[in-house]
Amino acid sequence: MNRDKDVLKPDICVIGAGSGGLSVAAAAAAFGVSVVLIERSRMGGECLNTGCVPSKALIAAARHAQSAREAHRFGVKFEAPQTDWHAVHAHIRQVIDGIAPHDSVERFTTLGVNVIEAEARFLDGRTVEGDGRLIRARRFVVATGSAPRIPDIPGLQDIPYLTNETLFEAPREIGHLLVLGGGAVGIEMGQAYRRLGAAVTLASRGELLSREDPELVVPIRMQLEAEGVSIHTYAEVSKAESGKGGRVRLVLTNGTRLDGTHLLVATGRRPVLENLGLEKAGVAYEPDGIHVARDLRTTNCRVYAIGDCVSGGERFTHAANAHAGLVIRSALFRLPVSIKPELLPRTVYATPEFAQIGLTEAQARSQGLALTVLRIPFTENDRARTGLETEGLVKLVAGPRGRILGVGITGPEAGEQIAFWSLALSRKLKLSDIAGTVLPYPTRAEAGKRAAVAYFAGAAKNPWLRRVLRMLRVFG
């Protein structure tokens, strides 16, 4: 018997059917390339099932509850909103179910992708096994994503706790939510549950959104506190324990006890690499993820890694999708590619929203760059004033000759506004290009243009320019 006949030999084998893996599989299949896709769990991965989609659906429900509370500011009165947790959960499920067919086994099979629902593991540098089948592909793409990182806190494993993987499993009425973690997930979910009627206490080891510009984080913290979220920063947890009546408790090193009915652990993500057999494939990795070069190849030139499982990478869905596009260009067309993390925007879907692309002011100064920093608060934006959404600002960091180094926005629909600046940085536009762009009035995006215009405000007082103007007046 010739066992080689039983080996699948596709052009590309993708391990992981999250956003990045699905993007690679769909694009490769569209070009007529043979693809095997291996997924051990649910199609769509973390983003669809336990991450971006359900969390933003919950945030949307919470925003409607808060709008009802604040309607009196516009002269409209409602009774206090009541949360139907089963209906909220049904809304979340409906959103997931509406998107799921796009990521389904059936759709990808129709596209020509051979989908294997099993755990994948490398047997050697060019062979993967899944469900007893051998795959010897020309190129492999590891896109296994990430899972919640659980801190080593004494007693934590002995009490019930939630992560993003379990938070949306079933409708649950939460009386008092303890949130461990001051990053995007902790802030978003903490605010959402507060708006839906729960008491919320948030504990963070450092500042909220510690990697971001503190000036842009302040309005978010102020809003959270104004809505009744109790925030403990620089809070070290010494132990976790059960409280009375089935409650949970976090004990801080300073002796403070934080009690709640539920605990959400939102302390970051870890790459999913277990049981992959990366050692047998000659793929170097560490606890933070797989080592890749700038073209996303691993130490085995046949194997690429993308998305959350990459060491030192940004763990965003749009980062994984960007990686997928680079792999297609490299693996299919042999084009030179290079990841550009500085062009990946970061967003936090709190109220007010936060978005950042490029360098922060601190990062630019640490590089010794000559800077001009421009700020326009949303109190000076007409559209923001009409909606009573004036918290926050646009902050531009510019280099010599109006080069855009970075943009940070905290304010209404910051995630939508940053799209304009993502294009500007990717196309190396200057502030003169932004200042010369015509935007509709009134829009929130005008705040960014106004900041760009402010860069040239000093020209009006330039003595040489004024002399030129006087000369031109002589000619009528």
Segment 144-162 shows an average pLDDT of 97
In contact, 253 and 263? CB cutoff 8 Å: no
What CA–CA distances, in Å, run from 343 to 301, 319, 363, 388? 25, 10, 14, 31
Q: Answer whether residue 2 shows pLDDT above 50.
A: no
How far is C-alpha 399 from the chain's CA centre?
27
- Which of 125, 57, 44 is CA-nearest to residue 89? 57
Res. 1 pLDDT band, cuts 50 70 90: very low
Order of strands, sheet of 353-358, starting from the edge strand that comes earlier in the sequence: 346-348, 353-358, 404-411, 393-398, 372-377
Which residues face 455 on adjacent strands?
Answer: none
Phi, psi of 216 (to 5 degrees): -85, -15
Considering the chain, tell me which residue range(s) the CATH 3.30.390.30 domain(s) occupy: 352-461
| Predicted pLDDT at 457 | 82
Which CATH number does 3-43+104-148+270-341 carry? 3.50.50.60
Q: Which CATH number fits domain 156-267: 3.50.50.60, 3.40.30.10, 3.40.430.10, 3.30.9.10?
A: 3.50.50.60
The CATH number given to 352-461 is 3.30.390.30
Which stretch, 178-182, 341-345, 455-459, has highest mean pLDDT? 178-182
Percent of the chain with pLDDT over 90: 92
Q: Is 421 left (phi over 0), alpha (psi -120 to 50) or beta?
A: alpha
pLDDT tens-digit map of 185-195: 999 999 999 99
Q: What is the mean pLDDT of residues 246-254?
A: 96
Q: Tens digits of per-residue pLDDT, 265-298?
A: 999 999 999 999 999 999 999 999 999 999 999 9
Query: What angle, rounded to 10 degrees, do the helices at 184-195 and 52-70 form?
Result: 40
In which residue ranges of the chain is CATH 3.50.50.60 found? 3-43+104-148+270-341, 156-267
